Chain A
């Protein structure tokens, strides 16, 4: 009896898990399907699922209408730039807090995180005015700095939790074994910290890549990343859902591929080092 109950339960859980998974995945699947439809089929009621005339027309059109490569290069610059800048500041900060904490460390971490609770639009005007004043509007540098700053608390938190997991006794063992600070970092600390840093980089690249609020508000063409590319296919002449879907697919494709190949690190990154 107990056995059959557990099998039923297993089947139930499997169906539930797949349903939830599909529910979450459905928007992307729908976008994918729509990108191969004609504009008419894309808005047809009742909607068609797979039984339509598959076409690459939308992809061809958006290639001619705008410069995909230009937007993609900007996305790469912005996400990599802000990540590198973030690491430069976050590694020493997280390091100090993890290895020589004071009684204020927890407060500082919470304060940093609290800045993420402010709605971005609340500081849109001041930041916009600063950008005007310093001539940073539609510049890659300006955007890199903004993306770096908004993601900094998360990078620090992630690295902090990773560094915290490195047992102090191992560092002491290295010291006893005759390693000076430099050798300790090269032979012991770095190899143990690298996996954590790698997943931090990955998550931060994804966050920057998908960031839409600031990139849409502070760029027009020069520094415009893929979010602008998508946006340019909504609006003026009404919505062209098929082309919009094709543009979205092109925009998320690179990050989707990267994410697919590094799922393991990502899951670890997203759980913030909570599970060992």
Chain B
């Protein structure tokens, strides 16, 4: 079980309000990602759930039981930190065994679980090494091992991949997803990287300045962003957001169109523009097109082999059914 409910949770540091007032329901077995720009309160929210910070007001319920005042040790949650936070004076084996030892488990059972965890995480060869003798990826695995041996109610991940290099990050992302499918335990994952959020989450919680902007599946957020912030944050490259005369034609204050939803032509279309930069990624080419309708270049996706160069003239037409309209408050018009 791993059901976590936050009710009217508020957090302030002195006069600074980090989280104004927030309700959130996380169901058992869900993979929930908190995503948002730095300083949006996502890590604070995770630390409130962990019990490493106290809520200023409001309630946290874990599996229906009151947990607001429980110390972190009593909440039955496991956490993987950004810095891994391994115990430098202990071997890999002792690091992984530590939470079990704290729980007073008997030696045979500890050994059995540690060996199993080490095996699934490919750590057998390093079991007697100290953290300082391990690479970043191996340390990360030890941190995950230390979390899974306890069989916690939920896992909390605080930007666990941000200290790894790009190639390793993709691999670990996959491993964490597989781990979730195998264990089916609730996972709460904090990141500022919307790609991590999109690829891993069952449910994404987009945060800005401590407020929830939108909650939904990755696809919901992608196809139906509730406001311009979510529209601009989810999806890579970013959605083009145009305001002014062009938006008014559609009866909106702002219109949004994703790079992949613009038809590109060299002969005809709604908007005329000049290609400023073209980025070739192999499978795709992203063109940054300067147009009279928008003061920033519009990003558009083309095929990998689209024959185009900087300085060429192109025509862009938004696909009408993929166009997002937002009112003056930035909220989506349906």
Binding site for B on A (CB under 8 A): 167, 169-170, 172-180, 183, 187-188, 191-192
B85 lies within 8 A of A173 (CB)? yes
Q: Check A179 against B89 for contact (C-beta < 8 Å).
A: no
- Residues of A contacting B79 in the complex (Cβ-Cβ under 8 angstroms): 172-173, 176
Known: A177-B146, A178-B99, A192-B89. A169 touches B83 (CB 8 A): yes
Tell me whether chain B's interface is mostly helix, strand or loop, or mixed.
Answer: loop
Min C-beta distance of A138 to chain B, whole Å: 45
- The verdict on B77 contacting chain A, using a C-beta distance below 8 Å, is yes
Q: Which residues of A contact B99 (CB under 8 A)?
A: 177-178
Contacting pair A188 B77 (CB below 8 A): no
Is chain A's binding surface mostly helix, strand, loop or mixed?
A: helix
Which residue of chain A has the shortest Cβ distance to B143 in the bound complex?
A173
Docked complex: B157-171 residues within 8 A CB-CB of A? none
With CB as the reference atom, state the residue of chain A lying closest to B50. A176
B304 at the binding interface (Cβ < 8 Å): no
Judge whether B81 is part of the interface by a CB distance below 8 angstroms.
yes
Contact call A180/B87, Cβ cutoff below 8 A:
no
Contact B103 A178 (CB under 8 A): yes
Contact A177 to B88, CB < 8 A, known contacts A169-B81, A172-B52, A172-B81: no
Interface pair A176/B78, CB less than 8 Å apart: yes
Mark each residue of chain B from 83 to 107: 1 if its CB lies under 8 Å from any CB of chain A, else 0. Answer: 1011111000000001100110000
Chain A residues, CB < 8 A from B50: 176
| Contact partners of A177 in chain B: CB under 8 A | 73, 78, 98-99, 102, 146, 150
B58 within 8 A of A: no
Instruction: Give CA–CA (A215, B250) in the complex, Å.
Output: 91
In the bound complex, residues from chain A placing their C-beta under 8 Å from that of B77 are 176
Contact between A176 and B73, CB atoms less than 8 A apart? yes
Q: Which of A169, A176, A183, A187 contacts B72 (CB 8 A)?
A: A176
A102 to chain B, nearest CB (A): 12
B155 to chain A: closest CB distance in Å?
11
Among A169, A175, A176, the one with the most B-chain Cβ atoms within 10 Å of its Cβ is A176
Query: A193 → chain B, closest Cβ, in Å?
Result: 10
**Closest chain A residue to B88, Cβ basis:** A192
Residues in B with CB closer than 8 Å to A191 are 89
Report Cα–Cα, A191/B79, bound state, in Å: 22
CA distance A201 to B86 in the complex (A): 27
In the docked arrangement, what's the CA distance between A177 and B100, Å?
Answer: 8
**A179 vs B73: C-alpha distance in the bound complex, in angstroms?**
6
Instruction: List 8 other contacts, CB 8 Å, given A169-B82, A173-B79, A173-B85.
Output: A170-B86, A170-B87, A172-B85, A175-B52, A176-B72, A176-B78, A178-B99, A183-B102
Instruction: Give the complex CA separation of A180 and B78 in angstroms.
Output: 15
User: Which residues of the partner chain B approach A169 to less than 8 Å between Cβ atoms?
Assistant: 81-83, 85
Asked whether any CB of chain A lies closer than 8 Å to the CB of B71, the reply is yes
Encode B128-171 as 1/0 by CB contact (under 8 A) with A: 00000000000000000010001000000000000000000000
Pick the most buried of A169, A178, A179: most chain B CB atoms within 10 A of its CB.
A178
Q: A176-B50, A176-B52, A176-B72 are in contact. Are A167 and B102 (CB under 8 A)?
A: no
How far is it, in angstroms, between the C-alpha of A179 and the C-alpha of B85 when the chains are bound? Answer: 15
Which 9 A-B pairs give the minimum distances between C-beta atoms? Answer: A178-B102, A173-B85, A177-B99, A169-B85, A191-B89, A178-B73, A176-B79, A175-B72, A170-B85
Complex CA distance for A169 and B72, rounded to whole angstroms: 13
Tell me the nearest residue of chain A to B102, going by C-beta.
A178
Distance A174 CA – B103 CA, assembled complex (angstroms): 12
When chains A and B are docked, how far (Å) is the Cα of A145 from the Cα of B50?
46
Report which of B73, B87, B88, B103 forms a contact with A175, defined as CB distance below 8 A.
B73
